[in-house]
Structure 1
Amino acid sequence: MGANSKLTIAIHALVWAALNERQGSAYSTSEEIANSIKTNPVVVRRMMSDLTKAGLIESRRGAGWRLSMPAEKMTLWDINLALGPEETFALHRNEPSATCPVARGIRPALRPTFARVDEVVRQELARTTLADVFDETLTPSQN
C-alpha cells in the first residue's frame, strides 16, 4: 500500500515560500522550491496551480508564487482541500464477490470506522496552521 505524499510536498513548498518571504524575497520560483524538495519543477508548478486556484497563494508570471494570506491563517486542512483530499483509508476498488459472506459484509463493517478516522484526521489538520509547521520546522531538534 503506497502513501500519498502530495500534502507533505505542498506543506514543504509553502513553508519554504514563507521562509523565503521572511528572508526578503517577494516570490519563490518553482526551481527554488523543487530544489528544496528534490523534485522536478513541473511537479511544483502543477501543485502550485491547485493552491493558486484555492486562493492560498498568488502567482506572478515570471516571478513565481507567494502566500496570499498569513501562515497563521492557513490550515493544513485548507491545503489538503486545495489538493483534492483523499480518504485516509479506502475500500478496495474491485466489486466484492456477491456469494462470499465476508465480501458482502466487509465494506459496511469498515465504512463507519474509516469515516471516524477521516474525521479525526480532518480535525487535526484543521487545528494545525502553516505557521505551526513553520515554527516546528525551524526549531532546532531537542534530540
Structure 2
Amino acid sequence: MSANSRLTIAAHALAWIGLYQRQGHEVATSEQIAASANTNPVVIRRLLGELRGAGLVESRRGVGAGWSLARELGSMTLRDVYEAVEPGPLFAMHRATPDQECAVGFGIQPAMREIYAGVEETLRQELSRVTLEDVLRDVLAVRPGPTGEVPSGG
C-alpha cells in the first residue's frame, strides 16, 4: 500500500503561490506549479479546484488566467488543506461485513472505529498547529535560493 501525497502536493502548491505572489506576481499557472512539484498540471488543477472549493485559492479565467491565494498563508492551517483534499476518513473498515458469528469478526469494527476516531482527532489537532506561513518559512530555511525566489518558469 502506498502513501497518499495529496496533502503534501497541495501544501507545495499553496506555498509556491504564496512565494510567487510575494515576488509581485498576481497569479500562478498550474503549469508553473506542476514544474516545481514535478507532476502533471492536471494533478495540480484538480487539487487547486478542491482548495478553491474550500476557499483557500481563487482562479481567474481568460487573459491572465491562473491561481491566487484567497487568504494569507498565515491564516491557513494544514488542517484546512487536509480537510479540503482528504474529505474521507483516514482509515477504512472492511469492504465486506466480517463474520458476525465470529467473536473477532463481530467486535473488530466497533473497536477499530474508536481507535481510529482518536487517531484522526490527534491528526487534526496537530495539523491545526501549523500554518502555511510556517511551512513556507521552513521550506525557505532548508535550501533558499539566492534570494528565496521561485524560478521564473516554475
The two structures have a TM-score, normalised by structure 2, of 0.85
Equivalent-residue separation in structure 2 for 1:8 and 1:24 (angstroms): 25
Measured after TM superposition, the shift of residue 99 of structure 1 is 2.4
The aligned counterpart of 1:55 is 55
Aligned CA-pair RMSD: 1.4
Equivalent-residue separation in structure 1 for 2:2 and 2:47 (angstroms): 19
The aligned counterpart of 2:6 is 6
Structure 1 alignment gaps of length 5 or more: none
Measured after TM superposition, the shift of residue 133 of structure 1 is 0.6
> Is 1:97 matched with 2:99?
yes
> Is 1:128 matched with 2:130?
yes
Measured after TM superposition, the shift of residue 86 of structure 1 is 3.0
Greater length-normalized contact order (CA 8 Å, ≥ 6 residues apart): 2
The two structures have a TM-score, normalised by structure 1, of 0.91
The aligned counterpart of 2:148 is none
The aligned counterpart of 1:118 is 120
Equivalent-residue separation in structure 1 for 2:2 and 2:107 (angstroms): 25
Contact residue 7 and residue 86 of structure 2 kept, 8 A: no
Measured after TM superposition, the shift of residue 140 of structure 1 is 2.9
Equivalent-residue separation in structure 2 for 1:133 and 1:57 (angstroms): 17
> Is 1:19 matched with 2:19?
yes
The aligned counterpart of 2:40 is 40
Aligned-pair identity (%): 52
Residue 29 of structure 2 aligns to which amino acid in structure 1?
T
Please identify runs of 4+ aligned residues in structure 1 that moved more than 6 A.
none
Measured after TM superposition, the shift of residue 100 of structure 1 is 1.9
Structure 2 alignment gaps of length 5 or more: 144-154
Contact residue 14 and residue 69 of structure 2 kept, 8 A: yes
